[in-house]
């Protein structure tokens, strides 16, 4: 049984929302790791 266009669009938007959420969290996690590296390198005396 085919789905209505409204349900199909809602499912597509939900999937897109999850994609954006996961991408945003991964970028934030990468930023946090980079910041932590910078902090630890600074504590070790490796500054510019």
Phi-psi region of 46 (alpha: psi -120 to 50; beta: other; left: phi over 0): beta
Residue pair 11/17 in contact by the 8 Å Cβ criterion: no
Provide the whole-model pTM. 0.71
pLDDT on residue 48: 66
Number of structural domains found in the chain:
1
Does the pLDDT at position 43 exceed 70?
yes
Spell out the residues 6+ positions from residue 47 whose beta carbon is closer than 8 angstroms to its own.
41
What is the domain extent for residue 34?
1-48
pLDDT band at 47 (very low <50, low <70, confident <90, very high): confident
CA–CA separation, 40 vs 24, rounded Å? 24
pLDDT tens digit string along 6-40? 888 899 999 999 999 999 999 999 999 999 999 99
CA–CA separation, 36 vs 38, rounded Å? 5
């Amino acid at each position: 049984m085919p789905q209505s266009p409204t349900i199909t669009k809602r499912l597509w938007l939900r999937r897109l929302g999850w994609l954006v959420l996961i991408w945003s969290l991964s970028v934030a996690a990468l930023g946090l790791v980079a910041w932590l590296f910078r902090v630890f390198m600074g504590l070790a005396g490796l500054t510019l």
